[in-house]
Amino acid sequence: MKLGSTKMKGVVESATVALSDKARLLAQQGVDVINVAGGDPDFITPAHIRAAACAAMEKGDTHYVSSRGIPALLRAISAKYQQEHGLAYDPNSEVLVTPGGKLALYAAVMGTLDRGEEVLLPEPAWVSYVPMIQLADGVPVGVPLEGADNFRLTRQALEAKVTPRSRLILVNSPNNPTGRVLSAEEIQAIADVARAHDLLVIYDEMYEKLIFDGHQHINIATLPGMRERTVVVNGLSKSHAMTGWRLGFAVAPQPIMSAMLKVQQHTATCAAAFTQAAGVAALTGPQECVAEMVEVYRQRRDMVAAGLNGVKGIRCAAPEGAFYAFPFVAGTGMSSDEFCAYILEKAQVVMTPGNCFGACGEGYARLSFATATDRLELMIERLKAVF
């Protein structure tokens, strides 16, 4: 008897989720483990957002809602893109609210790919992109970037991977895992390749609010000829410390959004009504909470980068955005896997091997500084002790 699909045998589990689960298990066993493998902010969701959800539940907003999203949140998302980027999206046909940004990305991939079509994926890249493409019967085509060049993306690197089967470019900025913020030149290169070869773009800007040192986030849909060929995916998990709420969203031209909506209708149906009420409060309410969290992340980034650069065999560039550091650890004489296994055994620190994000991530490890400052300081102390 056949158990399980052939397709799923070729799909790996999420390395970051698996490592976080392992860290939780160790903690339950009494091990004082420092888990910096995941990406869950340690801040509690701001009070006005929690209050909006509570009020919605008390009012009885605990039932099914439209698969597209509640009108108030659809309008708030549309207004966000109009106000921040000058992009007009019809809230009734070009906006989708999803239970988590992951489902928005999956719906975008499912809604745009046919069997065997290729997706250009600049690497290092988030661990779920490749499996999503595979589940949609697409073909992931890695575009390896050089760590020695600060993982800079060029038109030449993209062009080298274009074939007649190319359909999509999937790109993420600020980047998970490297912390890079794509420059205007890099964004232009993506747009140039997309227009030249008639490709669509899925633009994951989940970390758009988490930017340091005056770097600027550019929405690629604002470039000439790009709105009509771009799906923008975003959410509130990282910017507003709402990971557990599972609330994401996407904006896209109506024909693409129509296909994405079908994916949602036949999978999750809709995001929870009361979390959507919280989303309205997050987008339309006070934003000082976001700035305050970003400043704490900046301070932690500085401390972590300086601390890691003081550990023998490790070199760490200061991330430009998001809340991940991607230190080069090959100077310890170990591979990414060996390094992460070693620090788990010797220092009880959990990081994600860099090769989980693509072959060009070998020699690196990813850690999140969305973790309490005292735990990050202890992590540095333990690493210095074992190296």
Model pLDDT for residues 84-143, shown as the tens digit of each residue: 999 999 999 999 999 999 999 999 999 999 999 999 999 999 999 999 999 999 999 999
**Residue 5: predicted pLDDT:** 74
What pLDDT, on the 0 to 100 scale, is given for residue 15?
66
pLDDT at 70: 98
Residue with tokens 């809709």: 270
Structural domain of residue 333, as residue ranges? 6-45+288-386
Among 357, 361, 329, smallest CA distance to 342 is for: 329
> What one-character-per-residue DSSP string does 32-86 give?
--EE-SS---SSPPPHHHHHHHHHHHHHT--S---SS--HHHHHHHHHHHHHHH-
What pLDDT band is residue 10 in, cutting at 50, 70 and 90? confident
Same domain for 268 and 161: yes
Instruction: Report pLDDT digits (tens) over 328-361.
Output: 999 999 999 999 999 998 999 999 999 999 999 9
Q: What is the CATH number of the domain that holds 344?
A: 3.90.1150.10
Same domain, yes or no: 213 and 327: no
pTM of the model: 0.94
Domain boundary among 262, 284, 306: 284
Question: Has residue 143 been placed in a domain?
Answer: yes
- How remote is the C-alpha of 27 from its chain's centroid? 26
Contact 272, 66 (CB under 8 A): no
> Are the C-beta atoms of 75 and 279 separated by less than 8 Å?
no
Question: Do 68 and 193 share a domain, yes or no?
Answer: yes
Residue 213 maps to which CATH number?
Answer: 3.40.640.10
